[in-house]
């Protein structure tokens, strides 16, 4: 049965990006408030920011995922320790007992050479071998119509996109601060050092007809979950549906819209607002066509304290669930008065979704 489409608002954040007059920023903040309270999700757009143009990052993702199997076998794989950098093969992760029919590449902040990480979410990215990078550079240059192939073209596209998503996330945090009647910098106190620990993933979801060796498990694009962090920004450049949000006791398709980024509040944002802003349950269903998406997880500070709500509210957050369970229930945070710092908790969460031996 096909999911109904969810009519989410599209919010032009240009007044926030350009720091325009207070009245214009307050208008955006009010739209953010209504969307965050009603859905916990919305689209954003702006003609003034290059990140809304998906050409370069889509070319980079396609170049990577269209590599031959022999090339992919040489890509650095993510490791089980909770610091997720590198290639995620088919079957390499799952938020439940289901088989998630996708592959991905995970990277983050361009960590300075020689600098020692301070925590478990900081560190170097894991890049493809140098000869593979040369092929990726050429493929991206060709896709965007450039005759000259710049060295590290592929990596630079990824870095620029990451930086752009960080910038937009901080701008949104200012707008969301205003939406609660707070000063613009209110949420920034919770997001110091966020750029260094946040995470970006390029996803390639296979067609629903894709065949694999594992035929015993239920198949899905991405298992139902809420996001653990502050905000999640998703670019859906190929206009292929798949993302769905659970609203009013039913799954609803999130339509793809050109020149927009889909945003949903994370568990941490919802907890900070005492549940006023929703962290929506969502999943990715399989489509008849392959699907690409770029997902940016904007985290609060590594040492940020995790707020705890009283009563049964915590059972709605994946942050408190064991990600190896097949259903969205069983809260680890329910009834707990103290939790580890956000970063330590997230490292453990990534350990839970790791699956050993993922390959085609």
Strand extents, DSSP E, the chain: 4-5, 10-12, 41-45, 86-88, 99-100, 102-107, 199-205, 219-220, 222-225, 231-235, 243-247, 250-253, 261-265, 282-284, 291-298
**Residues sharing a CB contact under 8 Å with residue 211, sequence separation 6 or more, in sequence order:** none
Question: What angle is formed at CA 132 by the lines to CA 347 and CA 112, rounded to 5 degrees?
Answer: 45
pLDDT at 310: 66
Q: In the chain, where are the structural domains located? A: 4-353
The 8-class DSSP code of residue 235 comes to: E
pLDDT along the chain (360 residues), means of 10: 86 97 98 98 96 95 97 92 89 73 96 94 97 97 89 96 98 98 96 97 90 69 91 96 94 96 96 94 93 98 87 67 52 50 87 63
CATH class of the region 4-353: mainly beta
Residue in the block written with tokens 């007992």: 97
- Rounded to an integer, what distance in angstroms lies between the CA atom of residue 258 and that of residue 233? 15
pLDDT at 352: 79
pLDDT at 334: 45
The 8-class DSSP code of residue 305 comes to: P
CB atoms within 10 A of CB 89: 20
Cross-strand pairs, 68: none
- Rounded to an integer, what distance in angstroms lies between the CA atom of residue 106 and that of residue 123? 13
């Amino acid at each position: 049965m096909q999911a109904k489409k969810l009519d989410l608002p599209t919010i032009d954040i240009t007044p926030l990006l350009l720091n325009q007059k207070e009245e214009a920023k307050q208008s955006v903040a009010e739209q953010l408030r209504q969307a965050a309270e009603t859905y916990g999700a919305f689209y954003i757009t702006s003609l003034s920011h290059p990140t809304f143009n998906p050409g370069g990052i889509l070319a980079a993702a396609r170049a990577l995922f269209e590599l031959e199997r022999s090339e992919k076998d040489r890509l650095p794989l993510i490791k089980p320790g909770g610091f997720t950098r590198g290639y995620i093969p088919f079957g390499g992760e799952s938020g439940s007992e289901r088989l998630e029919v996708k592959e991905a590449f995970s990277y983050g902040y361009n960590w300075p050479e020689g600098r020692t990480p301070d925590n478990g979410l900081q560190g170097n990215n894991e890049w493809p071998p140098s000869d593979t990078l040369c092929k990726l550079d050429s493929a991206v240059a060709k896709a965007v119509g450039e005759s000259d192939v710049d060295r590290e073209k592929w990596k630079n596209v990824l870095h620029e996109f990451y930086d752009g998503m960080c910038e937009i996330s901080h701008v949104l945090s200012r707008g969301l601060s205003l939406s609660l009647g707070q000063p613009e910098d209110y949420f920034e106190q919770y997001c110091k050092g966020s750029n260094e620990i946040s995470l970006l993933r390029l996803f390639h979801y296979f067609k629903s007809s894709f065949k694999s060796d594992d035929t015993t498990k239920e198949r899905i694009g991405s298992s139902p979950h809420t996001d653990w962090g502050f905000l999640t920004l998703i670019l859906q450049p190929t206009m292929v549906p798949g993302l769905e949000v659970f609203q009013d006791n039913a799954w609803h398709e999130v339509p793809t819209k050109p020149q927009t980024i889909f945003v949903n509040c994370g568990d941490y944002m919802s907890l900070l607002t005492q549940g006023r802003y929703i962290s929506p349950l969502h999943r990715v269903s399989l489509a008849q066509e392959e699907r690409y998406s770029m997902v940016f997880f904007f985290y609060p500070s590594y040492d940020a304290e995790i707020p705890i709500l009283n009563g049964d509210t915590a059972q709605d957050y994946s942050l408190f669930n064991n990600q190896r369970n097949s259903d969205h229930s069983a809260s680890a945070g329910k009834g707990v008065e103290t939790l580890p710092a956000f970063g330590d908790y997230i490292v453990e969460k990534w350990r839970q979704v790791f699956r050993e031996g993922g390959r085609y």
